[in-house]
Amino acid sequence: MWLESSIETDYLLGFSNAEQKDILEIVHAHSENFKKKWNECFGK
């Protein structure tokens, strides 16, 4: 999963199309928090 510059997936193996859609919706809804927490942990 890539969050910068746009949200993209590299691969989502083992997930149905419906599950992939759900995952992407969750990532989109929480992307700013994911980026913030990543930067807090790894610094940027």
The string of pLDDT tens digits covering residues 31-43 is 899 889 989 999 8
> Could you tell me if 25 and 18 are in contact, meaning their C-beta atoms sit under 8 angstroms apart?
no
Predicted TM-score of the model (pTM): 0.69
Rounded distance between C-alpha atoms, residue 44 and residue 42, angstroms: 7
Residue corresponding to tokens 């928090």? 33
pLDDT at 6 over 80: no
- Residue 44 and residue 31: Cα distance in Å, rounded? 16
Structure confidence at residue 33 (pLDDT): 93
Q: What is the mean pLDDT of residues 20-40?
A: 91
**Mean pLDDT within 15-42:** 91
Quickly state the pLDDT bin for 30 (edges 50, 70, 90): very high
Which of 5, 6, 4, 7 lies closest to 26 in space, CA to CA?
A: 7
